[in-house]
Structures are given as structure tokens and as C-alpha cells.
């Protein structure tokens, strides 16, 4: 990442800020992310710690997206100690609520603002990372646009664990290449990369693998999608607290 940081410093000193163009790019990127109404898939999570020890978890995921609303449900299937754990995220405009169901406790927990920076099930993704990234919740700067690639700086306008995020986007396909996350001391603390894209619908691409690296703790979490289906209707009852506790049967 040193080469990226050096190039960003040079670019920031030589190019003017273009907020309108940056927002235009990110909004189109966001539109492409929500272009699939229904999606289901099997997801394998591989957590690797600083000693190169790994933990594997298997989940089933369900999602719904419309112009102003997104819903997602994740149900853990393996290993046995997390089976039945469920995560529900509901976003409507600028309003978002997240629920975590822990079968060992037999109750549903609402994720509060003070927990959004917590690790999700011991992974390197936080609850904030798994929430909706609404463009209205950021201020943008265009750092560079060249060829089919753009680098956009996104500054959260509300409460966030990040001071800003640097997105590197392919603006031909409008897909994520990488995201670099920085703290208030201007230190990069995390890095997200996306790989193995498949065009699932004309002009709409999805990664089959994503890797989130915690640069401070020297660890990472890899997500690998299989058995995906697109635009096959999912019952609305799936995206409810009641169904979260029941799991998918």
C-alpha cells in the first residue's frame, strides 16, 4: 500500500477537488450494487489470524434491494458453535437498523451505534462495514480519474470508526477494486479488495471473493460466494425479527 499512499499524496497536491464528479461516480457505483432485486447464495468465511491459523464458517445469505430500501439476512450453518446465529440488516433511506440473533442466549440483540465498530462474529468486518453505504452519508472528493479507473475519497458525515475511505473503482464496469480505510490520525488501518468478478446481468458485475485485511492486527477475513441465484423472489417474511429467530427452514 505504500505506492498507493505516495501516489495519493502526489495526486492530492496536483489535482483540484471535484466533488460533483466524485459523487456522480460513487452514486453510479451504488446504483449498480443495488441493481439486483433479489439474491441468495452460500458464503464461506475464512478468518486467518496473525499466526496464520484459520477458522472457517459457512453461511446462507439472502438480500433484497430497491431504489431506497435494502434488506439482508445471513444465517450461519456451520460450525456447530455458531449454527443458527442470524444477522438481519434493514435500511430505508437514511434509516438503518441491524439485529443479531444468538441462539445460545435465545434472544435478538439490536446493534447500537456504540457497537458498529465491533467485529462481526470474530471476523475483520465490522457491523458498520456490513451496513448500507448510502452516498448521502458521505462527502466526496475525486482524487484521480484516468482511463477506466477513478480514486474517490469518501468522508463519513455521521458517526463512524473511519475518518475517511479511499475507493479505487473501475468506472467502465463500476465495480470496486479496493478500499483503504483510515483513522483520525491518517493511518491506514484496513484494506478491502474484490476479486473474480462475474457479469450476472448485462452491465452488472458481482465479485466471487472479497478479502478484508486488518493492517494493525496483521490478520484477514476472506469471503467466498458459491451457489448464487439472482432475481428469484424471496418471501418478505425472511427479513423480519421473527424469521431471524427461526432461521431458514
d(CA 178, CA 192): 5
- Locate the domains of the chain by residue range: 15-246
Which one of 5-14, 45-54, 88-97, 104-113 scores highest in mean pLDDT?
45-54
For the chain, give the DSSP string.
Answer: -HHHHHHHHHHHHHS---HHHHHHHHHHHHHHHT--SEEEEEEEEEEE-TTS-EEEEEEEEEEEE-SSEEEEEEEEEESTTTTT-EEEEEEETTEEEEEEEETTTTEEEE--GGGTTSBSTTSS-BTTTTS---GGGEEEEEEEEETTEEEEEEEESSS-S-SEEEEEEETTTTEEEEEEEE-TTS-EEEEEEEEEEEEEETTEEEEEEEEEEETTTTEEEEEEEEEEEES----GGGGSHHHHHH---
Note the pLDDT of residue 178.
Answer: 98
Lowest mean per-residue pLDDT among 12-16, 34-38, 74-78, 239-243 = 12-16
Q: Is the pLDDT of residue 73 over 90?
A: yes
* Rounded average pLDDT over 131-147: 93
Q: Is the pLDDT of residue 9 over 70?
A: no
Residue 132's pLDDT band (cuts 50, 70, 90): confident
Taking only the tens place, the pLDDT of each residue in 156-185 is 998 999 999 999 999 999 999 999 999 999
Q: Is the pLDDT of residue 5 over 70?
A: no
Taking only the tens place, the pLDDT of each residue in 218-231 is 999 999 999 999 99
Note the pLDDT of residue 248.
Answer: 55
Q: Supply 51's cell numbers.
A: 499466526
| Dihedral sign (CA 238, 161, 67, 211) | negative
Taking only the tens place, the pLDDT of each residue in 48-60 is 999 999 999 999 9
Note the pLDDT of residue 133.
Answer: 85
Note the pLDDT of residue 247.
Answer: 63
Q: In CATH, which superfamily holds the domain spanning 15-246?
A: Lipoprotein localisation LolA/LolB/LppX (2.50.20.10)
* Rounded average pLDDT over 74-95: 92
Q: Supply 101's cell numbers.
A: 440473533
Note the pLDDT of residue 100.
Answer: 96
- The structure's pTM equals 0.89
Taking only the tens place, the pLDDT of each residue in 186-195 is 999 999 999 9
In the chain, the percentage of residues whose pLDDT exceeds 70 is 92
d(CA 4, CA 110): 37
Amino acid at each position: 500500500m505504500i505506492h498507493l499512499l505516495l501516489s495519493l499524496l502526489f495526486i492530492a497536491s496536483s489535482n483540484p477537488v471535484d466533488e460533483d464528479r466524485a459523487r456522480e461516480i460513487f452514486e453510479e457505483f451504488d446504483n449498480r450494487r443495488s441493481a439486483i432485486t433479489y439474491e441468495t447464495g452460500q458464503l464461506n468465511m475464512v478468518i486467518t489470524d496473525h499466526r496464520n491459523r484459520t477458522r472457517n464458517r459457512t453461511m446462507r445469505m439472502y438480500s433484497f434491494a430497491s431504489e431506497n430500501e435494502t434488506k439482508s439476512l445471513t444465517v450461519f450453518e456451520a460450525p456447530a458453535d455458531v449454527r443458527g446465529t442470524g444477522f438481519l440488516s434493514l435500511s430505508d433511506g437514511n434509516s438503518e437498523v441491524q439485529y443479531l440473533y444468538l441462539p445460545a442466549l435465545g434472544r435478538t440483540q439490536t446493534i447500537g451505534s456504540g457497537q458498529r465498530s465491533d467485529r462481526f462474529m470474530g471476523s475483520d468486518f465490522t457491523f458498520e462495514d456490513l451496513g448500507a453505504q448510502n452516498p448521502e452519508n458521505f462527502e466526496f472528493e475525486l482524487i484521480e480519474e484516468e482511463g477506466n479507473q477513478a480514486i474517490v475519497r469518501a468522508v463519513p458525515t455521521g458517526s463512524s470508526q473511519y475518518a475517511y475511505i479511499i475507493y479505487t473503482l473501475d468506472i467502465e464496469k463500476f465495480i470496486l477494486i479496493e478500499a483503504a480505510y483510515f483513522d483520525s490520525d491518517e493511518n491506514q488501518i484496513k484494506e478491502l479488495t474484490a476479486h473474480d468478478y462475474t457479469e450476472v446481468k448485462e452491465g452488472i458485475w458481482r465479485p466471487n471473493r472479497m478479502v478484508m485485511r486488518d493492517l494493525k492486527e496483521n490478520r484477514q477475513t476472506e469471503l467466498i460466494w458459491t451457489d448464487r441465484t439472482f432475481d428469484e423472489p424471496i418471501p418478505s417474511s425472511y427479513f423480519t425479527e421473527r424469521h431471524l429467530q427461526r432461521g431458514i427452514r
